Amino acid sequence: MTSNTTAFADLMAHQRQTEALGFVAERLGWDQETMMPRGAAEQRGEEMAAMEGVLHARRTDPRIGEWLVAATAPDAAGEAALRLIGRSYARNVKVPADLAQELARVTSTAQGIWAEARARDDVAAFLPTLAEVIALRRREAECLAAGGDLYDALMDDYEPGATAASIGAMFDRMRPRLVSLRERILGSAPQPKALEGNFATETQLRLSRDLASAFGYDWSRGRIDLAVHPFSSGGWNDSRITTRVVETEPFNCFYSTIHEVGHSSYELAIDPDYALTPMGHGVSMGVHESQSRIYENQMGRGRAFTGWIYQEMRERFGEFGINSPESFYGAVNRVHSGFIRTEADEVHYNLHIMMRFDLERALIKGDLAVGDLEAAWNDRFKADFGAAVDRPSHGMLQDVHWSVGLFGYFPTYTLGNVYAGCLWQALRDAVPDVDAALAKGDATPATGWLRENLQRHGGLRSPRETIAYACGFEPNEGPLLDYLETKFGELYGL
């Protein structure tokens, strides 16, 4: 008979290899979006499907169920490991192996098809693939939901415990204050001057590396590359970031970099004792987004740090038409109804997410046909943002998420903003000199507080418990909305 101690050890040894293989599969995805030759897409799809077959078999190994029954955790970390492995096992055994492999193959190939369609503004070229992805994800959701809400089943992959009803209710509470703030800003005068000009690619990339360093990115365990859609990948001792460059829009590069450094720094800061265990990852995408968004927005777009970026840009690019740190702060935080979510200001950003949330819920429920998505997107965008979408790459083709099957992921962006608002309130109370350091290009006091109070704990606690532990209070949308109204009220003299 297997002892409780032996069962726990055997389970963790099995999990360790599964986690390692998961990193290998993730590295294949990183390569696909950064360095893989375009002609290799079909082969990569087969490789990803093969890896998913191996991983699915390991995650549904019947011995896991036996070990979970027999094992006794030696400590709190062990209890968390059993909880997370048990959750993963219960979900994975509901999904047939052939479906898991087909999803991996199709979403791998779909990413390249989306990128080509986006480059050509050709919606028709992407729709058949998107329809296939949605059909597969609906099948998966039906396996997981056990008669419940399909969208909830998908969202649970990214934010355990959250439901469409709870997220929708939060959005309903947030929307009136966001819309009111936007209307007051856009009705004020004068508007801050926008950044204009041409900024050389290599100079942008050199500064983006320095920005990553300012936020403490560990270059011995990371690297930066270019991708169509910026992302971070990996964990433990290998977590990589990507950015993109448009020579007329340097903020795109700089803030994409800072955003991804937030994600990557979270992974790299997790207690090394949790490596190759279920706790060795960010606990949820909402918590993950809290790190990327607080790095990018509260710190990176704050008056203190933008003053430092302003001086760095003048040294590297020379005069560029903005003549003071305060004017530069206004340019960085200029509020306008742009098409692109990743370039949206803090006031508009969550409205982009709310739109996608409603559209993808309708797609998964079957209330919106794939062939009608472009028209539905354009109509909703016109209603929410007051502008007509001029081309598909500024509309439904702009995001990679749906091509790779990430239905249920979008709401975690706004949830991350809400969490970031709570963390920023707690951080400023705990680190009163944070602005003085940021003004010198030093984010260490802020990132050190985040590392100690949140990042190092990985998946030890549930998502909401993770935020509550760091902040000392239950997360809610109030601090974010108060922060936005105070910041933009001062900036626009409201």
| pLDDT single digits (tens) 229-259 | 899 999 999 999 999 999 999 999 999 999 9
> Both 325 and 430 in a single domain?
yes
In a domain, 153, yes or no: no
Q: 404 by DSSP, 3-state: which? A: coil
Side-by-side strand order, sheet with 232-235: 224-226, 238-243, 232-235
SS3 state of residue 33: helix
Q: What angle do CA 83, 89, 90 make, to 5 degrees?
A: 90
Report whether 56 contacts 92 (CB < 8 A): yes
389 domain-assigned: yes
Residues 288 and 428 in one domain: yes
Q: Has residue 167 got a pLDDT over 80?
A: yes
- Give the amino acid at 379: D
Tell whether 159 is covered by a domain. no
Instruction: Please indicate, yes or no, whether residues 222 and 99 belong to a single structural domain of this protein.
Output: no
Confidence (pLDDT) at 26: 95
Of 159, 260, 296, 374, which one is the catalytic site residue?
Answer: 260
Of 114, 148, 182, the residue that ends a domain is 148
Residue 40 sits in which domain range?
A: 4-148
Dump pLDDT digits (tens) for 114-131.
999 999 999 999 999 999
Domain end, chosen from 148, 181, 204, is at 148
Instruction: Take residue 188 and report the two structure tokens written for it.
Output: 């004020």
Task: Enter the tokens of residue 417.
Answer: 């903003």
Contact 411, 155 (CB under 8 A): yes
Decide if 395 contacts 265 (C-beta within 8 A). no
Q: For residue 398, what pLDDT band results from cuts at 50, 70 and 90?
A: very high
Which domain CATH number covers 275? 1.10.1370.30
CA 79 to chain CA centroid, Å, is 27
What is the rounded CA–CA span in Å between residue 412 and residue 32?
Answer: 24
Band (189; pLDDT cuts 50, 70, 90):
confident
Alpha-carbon radius of gyration of the chain: 22
Give the mean pLDDT of the chain: 95
Pair 182, 331 in one domain: yes
* Alpha carbon distance 59, 10 (integer Å): 14
Q: Which of 178, 465, 225, 481 is nearest to 337 (CA)?
A: 178
| Per-residue pLDDT tens digits for 479-492 | 999 999 999 999 99
pLDDT reported for residue 190: 83
- Are 122 and 184 in the same domain? no
302 plus 192 within the same structural domain: yes
Q: Single out the residue in 88, 115, 148 at which a domain terminates.
A: 148
Assess whether 369 and 414 both reside in one domain. yes
Handedness of CA 399, 404, 410, 415 (dihedral sign): negative
Arithmetic mean of pLDDT, 294-322: 97
Query: Is 289 known as a binding-site position?
Result: yes
> Comparing C-alpha atoms, which of 154, 221, 189 is closest to residue 402?
154
- What are the tens digits of pLDDT across the range 413-424? 999 999 999 999
Does 376 reside within a domain?
yes
Is there a single domain that holds both residue 400 and residue 338? Answer: yes
Please list the alpha-helical segments (H only) found in 294-342. Answer: 303-317, 325-332
Do both 281 and 306 map to the same domain? Answer: yes
Q: Are both 332 and 229 inside the same structural domain?
A: yes
Is 296 annotated as a binding-site member? no
Q: In this model, does residue 348 exceed pLDDT 90?
A: yes
Cα separation, 199 vs 314, in Å, equals 11
Tell whether the model's pLDDT for residue 425 goes beyond 70: yes
Q: Name residue 232's beta-bridge partners.
A: 241
Does the active-site annotation cover 260? Answer: yes
The answer to whether residue 139 is domain-embedded is: yes
Q: Is 336 annotated as a binding residue?
A: no
Q: Residue 156 falls within a domain, yes or no?
A: no
| pLDDT value of residue 2 | 60
pLDDT in tens, 1-55: 467 789 999 999 999 999 999 999 999 999 999 999 989 989 999 999 999 999 9
pLDDT digits (tens, 9 = 90+) for 254-294: 999 999 999 999 999 999 999 999 999 999 999 999 999 99
CB 311 within 8 A of CB 434: no
Residue 21, pLDDT score: 97
Total number of domains in the chain:
2
Longest dimension (CA), the chain: 77
Q: Does residue 207 contact residue 258 with C-beta atoms inside 8 Å?
A: no
Q: What is the mean pLDDT of residues 212-236?
A: 95
Q: Are residues 240 and 306 in the same domain?
A: yes
Lookup: tokens for 424: 């920023």
386 within domain boundaries: yes
Summarize pLDDT for 57-70 with one digit per residue, the tens.
Answer: 999 999 999 999 99
Q: Is 158 within a domain? A: no
Residues 110 and 233 in one domain: no
How would you write 128-167 as a 3-class SS string? HHHHHHHHHHHHHHHHHHCCCCHHHHHHCCCCCCCCHHHH
